[in-house]
Amino acid sequence: MSWAGRTAVEIADAVRAGEATAEQVVADHLEAVAARDGAVGAFRTVLAESAMADAKALGHRPDLPLAGVPIAVKDNLAVAGQTATNGTRAASPAPAPDDHPVVARLRAAGAIVLGLTNCPELCLYAMGDTRNPWDPKRTAGGSSGGGAAAVAAGMVPLALGNDGLGSLRVPGAACGVVALKPGHGLLEPPPHDWFAMSENGPLTTTVNDTILALTVMAGTPILPEAEDLRIAVAPNPLPPGFSVDAEFRQAARAAGATLREAGHTVVDHGRRFPMSLGWSTIAAWYACAAADSDDLDEHELEPRTRSMARVGRLLRRTRRDGSRRRDQWRAYGADQWFGDIDVLVTPTIAHLPPSAEGRASRGMARNAYADIRFAPLTGAWNMAGWPAMTIPFGRHSSGLPMGVQLIAPPDGERLLLSLAGHLEQARPWKRSVYHP
């Protein structure tokens, strides 16, 4: 029996009890990576030797919550001794002297870093070159698509990524895994924090694995907590002119109905996002491209990134970088729009993942249009700094998994996890391409 495809909770329990060794678990996952990643492209680099050495050094540690659990880390976070490229040739080749604090916390809990996962350049795009394990012709989403694909393909039970405008939730929905973006301040952010919009978070196959991972990452228990809640469903909260796939809208409604059956008050949320929020989110995205490329050799960047950065600098010079609207939305706008509800349910992505072919070679305008059409439902909650997550919920007629997004005001992670756990119990999902 291979341990690849088992949950993080199952693996840690077995290693702590002496029913499996960390070396055996890591070896099984390395075999899975060797057999499966050629068709997916989730990993930039696989750390086979150091992972086996770390597993051997771990020994039998019944006190570690993640004992022997293989993890993947997004290639924009520091892993000691490795180079974090942030998806670009322009990155410094110098290896990181220390782990990022969240990586260090996971390792101290017994997790074994199996490798670094691919991301599009500077994490700017909702679609990278990593392929979707459910349909390799399609993108896995981005920018944490490498981690989402690795989890969905059963190559690791847990991946660490980050979310600047949807970069965990978008690939999570595309690949049919659980992804949670914490609210601002719960975890140390990635080094490029995108004006306090980007947050580190876990990608897993179950809600229990997410609870375990987030508890370790935060250094404090994050336990589900919900009584009778007022929940609103918004099948399409986008401004007029933006569409959402009909089956995705129906999945959000079905999730609301499931929560109503559980005893919660569920209402329709008929409000649309203000158009000004959409424009300011796009402006902030371009400003992030400018900020993250300011100290890099422009000639080493992809043409689409160079173009985005130039527009971002122009917006910055003319004070049209979205910062004023972002500050208003974070201070009071999101709360006013949200209204008197505890949790909002929406689709996570608006349309099916597009083709994975040739993303980097396309121009700025084509990339921007494709990203905005695919993933316009997540960025508002980065602008607000609020917690949000995606869970798998049903199957599209294309055969791909569908995701629903749960959003709560600040400090609402426990509410999200409680509702996600109920939806998982009511509508279990196939945890990965290769396993039940």
Q: What is the pLDDT of residue 362?
A: 79
Specify if 290 maps to a domain. no
The span from the CA of 219 to the CA of 182, in Å, is 14
- Per-residue pLDDT, averaged over 357-365, amounts to 79
Mean pLDDT score, 289-313: 97
190 and 239 belong to one structural domain: no
Q: How big is the chain, counted in residues?
A: 436
Whether residue 428 is predicted with pLDDT greater than 90 in this model: the reply is: yes
Q: Is pLDDT at 110 greater than 80 in this prediction?
A: yes
The answer to which of 60-64, 134-138, 283-287, 360-364 has the lowest mean pLDDT is 360-364
Q: Is residue 266 part of a domain?
A: yes
CATH of the domain at 14: 3.90.1300.10
Last residue of a domain, one of 172, 189, 218: 218
Please indicate, yes or no, if residue 308 is contained in any of the structural domains.
no
What confidence tier does 60 reach under pLDDT thresholds 50, 70, 90?
Answer: confident
User: Could you tell me if 125 and 155 lie in one domain?
Assistant: yes
- Residue 259 and residue 110 share a domain: no
pLDDT (0 to 100) of residue 256: 98
Residue 96 included in any domain: yes
pLDDT computed for residue 357 by the predictor: 84
Same domain, 44 and 139: yes
Residue 223 forms part of a structural domain: no
Contact present, 181 and 379 (Cβ < 8 Å): no
Residues serving a catalytic function are: 74, 143, 167
Q: What is the pLDDT of residue 227?
A: 85
Same domain as 266, residue 181: no
Q: pTM of the prediction?
A: 0.98
Give pLDDT tens digits for 228-269. 999 999 999 999 999 999 999 999 999 999 999 999 999 999
Residues 200 and 343 in one domain: no
pLDDT per position as a tens digit, 162-177:
999 999 999 999 999 9
pLDDT of residue 363: 83
173 and 270 co-located in one domain: no
58 and 183 within one domain: yes
Measure the CA angle with vertex 190, ends 177 and 124; round to 5°. Answer: 70
User: Do residue 153 and residue 272 come from a single domain?
Assistant: no
Amino acid at position 334, single letter:
A
| Pair of tokens at residue 75 | 């290639």
Q: What is the pLDDT of residue 198?
A: 98
pLDDT at 87 > cutoff 80: yes
Q: Say whether pLDDT at 319 is over 90.
A: yes
Contact 122, 305 (CB under 8 A): yes
Q: Are residues 135 and 157 in the same domain?
A: yes
In this structure, the answer to whether residues 79 and 135 fall within a common structural domain is yes
Same domain, 181 and 261: no
Domain assignment of residue 326, given as a range: 230-276+319-418
Residue by residue, what is the 3-state secondary structure of the chain?
A: CCCCCCCHHHHHHHHHCCCCCHHHHHHHHHHHHHHHHHHCCCEEEECHHHHHHHHHHHCCCCCCCCCCCEEEEECCCCCCCCCCCCCCCCCCCCCCCCCCHHHHHHHHCCCEEEEEECCCHHHCCCCCCCEECCEEEEECCCCCHHHHHHHHCCCCCEEEEEECCCCCHHHHHHHCCEEEECCCCCCCCCCCCCCCCCEEEEEECCHHHHHHHHHHHHCCCCCCCCCCCEEEECCCCCCCCCCCCHHHHHHHHHHHHHHHHCCCEEEECCCCCCHHHHHHHHHHHHHHHHHHHCCCCHHHCCHHHHHHHHHHHHHHHCCCCCHHHHHHHHHHHHHHHHCCCCEEEEECCCCCCCECCCCCCCCHHHHHHHHHHHCCCCHHHHHHCCCEEEEEEEECCCCCEEEEEEECCCCCHHHHHHHHHHHHHHCCCCCCCCCC
Mean predicted confidence (pLDDT) in 404-419: 98
- Please give the tally of structural domains in the chain: 2
163 lies in some domain: yes
Residue 1 has a pLDDT of 83
Phi, psi of 272 (to 5 degrees): -105, 150
In a domain, 426, yes or no: no
Write down the pLDDT at residue 361: 74
For the chain, the average pLDDT equals 97
% of the chain beyond a pLDDT of 70:
100
For 170-207, write each residue's pLDDT tens digit.
Answer: 999 999 999 999 999 999 999 999 999 999 999 999 99
Q: What is the pLDDT of residue 2?
A: 95
| Residue 360 pLDDT exceeds 80 | no
In a domain, 74, yes or no: yes
Q: Cβ distance 338 to 226 under 8 Å?
A: no
